[in-house]
């Protein structure tokens, strides 16, 4: 089975991190292809970044279809372009926020999200509402660490995030923690050990979820809403996204 | 006051229709500037189109800021790029779905949406939920008319839409109708007369809402979530959206 | 266009304050008529006051209809008599709580209400739920200032309210403030400047909303629920409200 | 124990019907006092009637307090003036819609309301939402019988209502029926036998609920929101409702 | 009327406490039969205990039917086996959590639950959601007192519970308190006096609610879902629960 | 990895069906152990059956722990004993209703459940609400086939279920179907082919979900609510479930 894991930002080192997390999670017989879009922001830290990450994501889905991808992971916690990607792909598409939050629901009565910047917590809250898990979400906590500093050893990201996870358990009464950024994937085992509750990394959760859907022959229902988009002309620099290209 | 009304698709004739509707709604002293993005789909009929309309919308907001725009209308019923536009604009930004649905709430206990294609009703339902008006939305009905045929006299769009509005009143018990596409703006008076209930066109509703917000000195709160997006590098054909251009 | 702004309590000086706020908000071509009911409580600070303000409000709507009123504002944050007024009036009727809370939804992810007495916060919460905005309401905060002291320079109302608005921003993370009493209308500009977030006065918001509805030809849908009430006999001191008078 | 049952309309024959239903429901040792307000509409069939029934209801609560009433029933399905009555009364106050709908929740998974006029179904839906039982309310059905015709043998009210109850069971899958008008109280046994599901009359349910609350020493919590209303001046024909009278 | 009050745990002294509370609440003419199951846990302090209390409860319902029971109270705050008991019983069945929480809704805008162990608060929250009262539930507070220590004078249960009730009023703004364990029934009057808000004991509330339902001729609707369970074979030690025994 | 799949009813042939479905779904390296409880009902078709299936399920979890089970599937669509099983097990426990409904959420905007008997649809609706997926559940449809007839070729179960799935797609607009009974597992591929939308069998979905959780090191959070139940004495035929045995 071929799973294409799309890092919606354009930072290759983060794609590498994400790819390692997906591979570690995948079962035998699954090939993970982690890709970086050819266009878009180097990190996603605002609604603006999130929106402009989508064209690159969709281009990767189109490319992935040509390569015979069986299913996709969208590896940014805002799940950018999820509905559109589902129209394009023959197989299933899963976002890491969706997968992480739904997976956390199996682990107890409530979870807290620990994420990077405070300005992204609104999007996380939106998604919790959208996916029907708001009632189980006990808190959304920001560490105020910019996304690309997660990889910087000088940032003490690990220490700050660990501390925020501890607070989520003590103050929110969270039974589980959801990591709110794909860039935190490699901290997952450390955090779980340090904090004593299950910690869900969305990249791993989404990769396994896609594997499950593909293994069970489940794809997006393609009647009406999620059928292939009607072919039409696009203009300007986005012309290549249209039917005439 | 200068209001920039952005038609998220790239069809000039629809921009003209939208511009006329906005001007007719605007009060004295308001200048309406209806614009067509330089990139994107010629019509919006799928999640894919909706997502790829956003870059063009955001480029128009950036351009509008340079021209001293006081407030923006996003004139597609999916409200594409609304949160991102709010980060960019100094003044208020209002989507036509948001304005139409909130306005309809003042007119009775429940409204129905009458829109173009069945495949877009999922997005309309999402937005009703997102804006907190799902409880007041009694139905979302599709006429199965492609967006660009709204302007084609041969399509009998007017007759089909009138009939669907009548059904919304009779079967859903709707107190008011919300038009689910900017391209229907000029049918509003006809429909209201024919069907006997108030009919809300989002372009008019959003234009007046922006006027109200600007007149009252109300802009998007810019603490944290809706502050200007952090400046950063963008790559590929989207590089012009980044800080270095 | 003639807008009748009804102060549901019977204190003339508050009617004057409300009238000034409505006039300041109204566009050119709109005539504002601020009225004081001939019966009822001098201020509204309990469910009892709220309920007993309604007859006076409805009498003013009946009188306003004879004068050719185009639309009404109910200028008390409990929106007393709103549904009944909608049955009586040909044009639209908007309450200030409804207008302020819906308007605040355009300004960010969440708002807090700052009001007078703690005992009125239950009604505000009820209305937030009723209007579908409870999810966006981050707090309802009381200053414990009786309504009529708002106009008393000795009460330090301005200072106390400013401080409570600051707390709403800092502790609730509110993107905007909604003023919870018509008597606070004239503090709006001061508060917005002092606190740094948009502050919504319901009198201004409702006045502009009524203008919008009238300008767009939108009135309450009058099928069934909001049709004119069936004519019938009333008894006792309320006999003048019946059909035989 | 003395229970004052207030018929919010001013039709004595309906007060008699209500009084009989309350007495039949009350346990031994309870004295039922059914009263007709000295002011207000002869029947309640609109938001206007509902709002203008409230002063008469509140005057009866004030009078009831002087007579040592232990608890009150508000015997109109719109529960008019409930919150205000709770401020005035030392003991509990229960509305018949509230009591009927909560009682029906003990009887199965869902109930339907069968009421008089279609224009009142909006209020019933509002109350179901307000009391938290909307999820259990499977339908609200109108018989289009004016309230005062319920007592007219020529109206065939019994037949029409029986038929609508049958439809509620067959089409809504209701486990129980809630009668949507105090004037239907005497039909309850007949309907239950005819339709084969439990039928809840709010007058009986509320009377027993008040008895329960009084017997258990439970009164409305009177901290803050439901404390006695602040004394103040009222004007015009409502002056008697103020503190100076 | 005969009401069977089932203590779902197997501790006789708690059955006695519960029986006294039920008798004190019952009206004249009601006979209370408090019973202890022949199988199950000595106290209920986990989901495991709750689940395994159910067979004993159901056996008591079956036995109660043979004795001509008119209605049942399930006297554990988790309402164990409620839906199944409703299938078995001809008359109504009411759980103490259900009755206490619904009763508290008549007493003000919001209540808090004060219970024994923190690990049971999840179940209480579930039930509040299930019964539609989550919006009115302001807090669920644990005293960390094991159930059987409630009866131990050395445990200072009374002092600890009183203090937690005080906090519920001060910090949650509760208008009323709901006791979260049948074993607290005898503290009810003391707590209400000490804390100054109404305190609802579920045993008393449920007993009166069953009386009301029986008196009004209301039983569980027995179409489909709550019809008698299909007769069938059971195996192993549960064989006596099957049709062949 | 060892997964214990518990058939909550005591019919061995259904355990065999369930075991085959779980094995077919499981990845390489997973050992599936399908077990039949030693006590309880031969099929689950009522709340009574559901409740009395729980002791057998919990005994199997206790036995499974001794055998080193890594995770559990509860293979009845009512998810009987789920919370209690989570207290007992070191690893994750997943119910088939939970897994099927959450999995269906990845496949489109809404799903319908197709199940056996109408009297079980209430439980399915409860679970949809409990798991936060009620908004995505477009219908719950019963085929009125008793559980054990699913295996009877003479029952035409396949034809009836296929037809009901078709109706769910046509009338509910379902993007996916969820099978409402473990006994339908082997029809899954047939139905999906016949109806043209993805069909989710909960046994397969839950088996893969448990695999995922175990593979990612995720177990139920065991702080407080889901910690091991306090050891205590049990009485009667349930004594073996207590600590002293």
Q: Do B135 and D122 touch (CB under 8 A)?
A: no
Catalogue all structural domains in chain B, each as residue range(s) with its CATH number. Answer: 2-96+204-241 (3.40.50.12500), 98-201 (3.40.50.12500)
For the record, the structure tokens of B165 come out as 């509005």
> Helix, strand or coil for residue D37?
coil
Of residues D94, D196, D211, nearest to E106 (C-beta): D94
| Mean pLDDT of chain B, nearest integer | 95
DSSP code of F224? Answer: G
Of residues F86, F136, F212, nearest to A208 (C-beta): F212
The whole-angstrom distance between A197's CA and the closest CA on chain F is 6
Percent of chain B whose predicted confidence (pLDDT) is above 70: 99
Residue environment code for C17-26, b if the CB has 16+ CB neighbours within 10 A, otherwise e: bbbebbbbbb
The DSSP element (H or E) to which C220 belongs, if any, is: none
C130 to chain D: which residues are within 8 Å by CB?
126, 129-130
pLDDT at B244 over 60: no
D88 to chain C: which residues are within 8 Å by CB?
48
Instruction: Please state, in angstroms and as integers, the Cα–Cα distance from residue C156 to each residue in A119, C84, C163, C180, D25, following that order.
Output: 35, 37, 11, 17, 55
Contact D231, C42 (CB under 8 A): no
How many whole angstroms separate alpha carbon F44 and alpha carbon F8?
8
- Nearest chain E residue (CA) to D226: E108
Question: CB-based contacts of E93: which residues, under 8 Å, 6+ apart?
Answer: E61, E71, E72, E73, E74, E82, E85, E86, E210, E220
Q: What is the pLDDT of residue F152?
A: 81
How many whole angstroms separate alpha carbon F191 and alpha carbon A226?
20
- Nearest chain E residue (CA) to D169: E223
Contact D172, D112 (CB under 8 A): yes
Question: CB-based contacts of F169: which residues, under 8 Å, 6+ apart?
Answer: A223, F112, F177, F195, F196, F197
The whole-angstrom distance between B123's CA and the closest CA on chain F is 10
What mean pLDDT is predicted for residues C57-73?
98
Q: Do B39 and A234 touch (CB under 8 A)?
A: yes
Q: Do F47 and E234 touch (CB under 8 A)?
A: no
Q: Do A55 and B238 touch (CB under 8 A)?
A: yes
Q: What angle in degrees, to the nearest 10, is found between the helix axes of A96-104 and A202-215?
A: 90
Q: What is the pLDDT of residue F244?
A: 55
Q: What is the pLDDT of residue E154?
A: 81
pLDDT at F245 over 50: no
Instruction: Please state, in angstroms and as integers, the Cα–Cα distance from residue C140 to each residue in C114, C125, C170, C176, C187, following that order.
Output: 6, 7, 14, 12, 18
**Measured CA angle at D153 (ends D150, D159), to 5 deg:** 70
B209 to chain C: which residues are within 8 Å by CB?
106, 212
C108 to chain B: which residues are within 8 Å by CB?
86, 220-221, 225-226
Question: Which residues, listed in sequence order, are joined to residue C117 by a DSSP beta bridge?
Answer: none
Question: Which residues, listed in sequence order, are joined to residue D71 by a DSSP beta bridge?
Answer: D3
The whole-angstrom distance between B198's CA and the closest CA on chain C is 6
Contact of chains E and B by CB distance (3 or more pairs under 8 angstroms): no
Q: What is the pLDDT of residue D244?
A: 55
Q: Do E218 and D198 touch (CB under 8 A)?
A: yes
pLDDT in tens, D27-56: 999 999 999 999 999 999 999 999 999 999
The whole-angstrom distance between E54's CA and the closest CA on chain D is 19
Residue environment code for C186-199, b if the CB has 16+ CB neighbours within 10 A, otherwise e: bbbeebbebbebbb
How many whole angstroms separate alpha carbon E81 and alpha carbon B66?
67
D52 to chain C: which residues are within 8 Å by CB?
54-55, 58, 84, 234, 238, 241
How many whole angstroms separate alpha carbon A37 and alpha carbon A57?
6
How many whole angstroms separate alpha carbon B148 and alpha carbon C107?
32
How many whole angstroms separate alpha carbon C201 and alpha carbon B212?
12
Q: Do A235 and B40 touch (CB under 8 A)?
A: yes
- How many residues comprise chain B? 245
Segments of chain E with pLDDT less than 50: 245
The whole-angstrom distance between B38's CA and the closest CA on chain C is 27
Residue B70 CB neighbour total at 10 angstroms: 21
The whole-angstrom distance between F181's CA and the closest CA on chain E is 17
Instruction: Please state, in angstroms and as integers, the Cα–Cα distance from residue B228 to each residue in A43, B8, B90, B202, C188, following that order.
Output: 15, 22, 9, 27, 25
How many whole angstroms separate alpha carbon F97 and alpha carbon A105?
13
Contact partners of B by the rule of 3+ C-beta pairs under 8 A?
A: A, C, D, F
Q: What is the pLDDT of residue C23?
A: 97
- Nearest chain B residue (CA) to F110: B122
pLDDT in tens, B104-124: 999 999 999 999 999 999 999
Q: Do F109 and B125 touch (CB under 8 A)?
A: yes
- Nearest chain F residue (CA) to A93: F106
What is the ipTM, given to two decimal places? Answer: 0.96
E237 to chain F: which residues are within 8 Å by CB?
39, 237-238
pLDDT at B174 over 50: yes
Of residues F122, F129, F236, nearest to E38 (C-beta): F236
Q: Do E129 and A135 touch (CB under 8 A)?
A: yes
Of residues B40, B55, B122, nearest to A52 (C-beta): B55
Interface size, chain A vs chain C, as Cβ–Cβ contacts under 8 Å: 3
How many whole angstroms separate alpha carbon C48 and alpha carbon D85?
7
Q: What is the pLDDT of residue E148?
A: 84
- Nearest chain F residue (CA) to B120: F109
Of residues D119, D225, D227, nearest to C224 (C-beta): D119
* Region label for A40, one of left (φ > 0), alpha (ψ between -120 and 50) or beta (otherwise): left
What mean pLDDT is predicted for residues F220-227?
92
Q: Do D135 and F125 touch (CB under 8 A)?
A: no
D127 to chain B: which residues are within 8 Å by CB?
none
Q: What is the pLDDT of residue D154?
A: 81
Q: Do D92 and E106 touch (CB under 8 A)?
A: yes
pLDDT at C244 over 60: no
DSSP states of C166-219 as a string?
Answer: HHHHHHH--SEEEE--GGGGGGHHHHHHHHSS-EE-HHHHHHHHHHHHHHTT--
pLDDT in tens, E145-157: 988 888 787 888 9
Q: What angle in degrees, to the nearest 10, is found between the helix axes of D157-167 and D188-195?
A: 40
Contact of chains D and A by CB distance (3 or more pairs under 8 angstroms): no
D178: burial class by Cβ within 10 Å (0-12, 13-18, 19+)? buried
Of residues E136, E218, E225, nearest to D109 (C-beta): E225
pLDDT in tens, E12-55: 999 999 999 999 999 999 999 999 999 999 999 999 999 999 99
Q: What is the pLDDT of residue E245?
A: 47
What mean pLDDT is predicted for residues B63-86?
98
F83 to chain E: which residues are within 8 Å by CB?
47, 51, 122-123
Contact partners of A by the rule of 3+ C-beta pairs under 8 A?
A: B, C, E, F
Which candidate in F109, F170, F174 is best for mutational testing of the B interface (most B CBs within 10 A)?
A: F109
Contact partners of F by the rule of 3+ C-beta pairs under 8 A?
A: A, B, D, E
Percent of chain C whose predicted confidence (pLDDT) is above 90: 90
The DSSP element (H or E) to which A73 belongs, if any, is: strand A71-74
Question: CB-based contacts of C203: which residues, under 8 Å, 6+ apart?
Answer: C5, C18, C21, C22, C25, C73, C75, C96, C182, C185
pLDDT at D90 over 60: yes
Which candidate in C11, C47, C144 is best for mutational testing of the D interface (most D CBs within 10 A)?
A: C47
- Nearest chain D residue (CA) to C9: D234
Q: What is the pLDDT of residue D155?
A: 80
E135 to chain C: which residues are within 8 Å by CB?
129
Q: What is the pLDDT of residue B155?
A: 80
pLDDT-derived band at F121 (thresholds 50, 70, 90) equals very high
Q: What is the pLDDT along chain A (245 residues), one digit of tens a residue?
A: 999 999 999 999 999 999 999 999 999 999 999 999 999 999 999 999 999 999 999 999 999 999 999 999 999 999 999 999 999 999 999 999 999 999 999 999 999 999 999 999 999 999 999 999 999 999 999 999 988 888 787 888 999 999 999 999 999 999 999 999 998 988 999 999 999 999 999 999 999 999 999 999 999 998 889 999 999 999 999 999 998 54
């Amino acid at each position: 089975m071929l799973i294409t894991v799309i890092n919606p930002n354009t930072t290759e080192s983060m794609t590498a991190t994400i790819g390692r997390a997906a591979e570690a999670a995948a079962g035998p017989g699954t090939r993970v292809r982690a890709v970086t879009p050819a266009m878009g922001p180097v990190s996603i830290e605002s609604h603006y970044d999130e929106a402009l990450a989508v064209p690159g994501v969709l281009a990767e889905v189109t490319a992935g279809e040509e390569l015979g991808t069986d299913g996709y992971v969208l590896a940014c916690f805002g799940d950018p372009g999820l509905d559109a990607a589902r129209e394009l792909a023959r197989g299933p598409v899963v976002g890491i926020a969706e997968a992480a939050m739904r997976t956390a629901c199996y682990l107890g009565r409530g979870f807290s999200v620990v994420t990077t910047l405070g300005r992204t917590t609104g999007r996380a809250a939106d998604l919790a509402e959208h996916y029907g898990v708001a009632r189980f979400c006990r808190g959304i906590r920001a560490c105020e660490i910019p996304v690309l500093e997660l990889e910087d050893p000088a940032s003490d990201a690990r220490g700050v995030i660990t501390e925020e996870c501890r607070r989520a358990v003590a103050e929110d009464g969270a039974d589980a923690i959801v990591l709110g950024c794909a860039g935190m994937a490699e901290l997952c085992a450390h955090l779980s050990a340090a904090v004593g509750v299950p910690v869900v990394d969305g990249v791993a959760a989404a990769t396994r979820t896609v594997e499950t859907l593909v293994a069970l022959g489940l794809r997006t229902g393609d009647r009406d809403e999620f059928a292939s988009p009607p072919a039409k002309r696009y203009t300007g620099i986005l012309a290549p996204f249209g039917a005439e290209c």
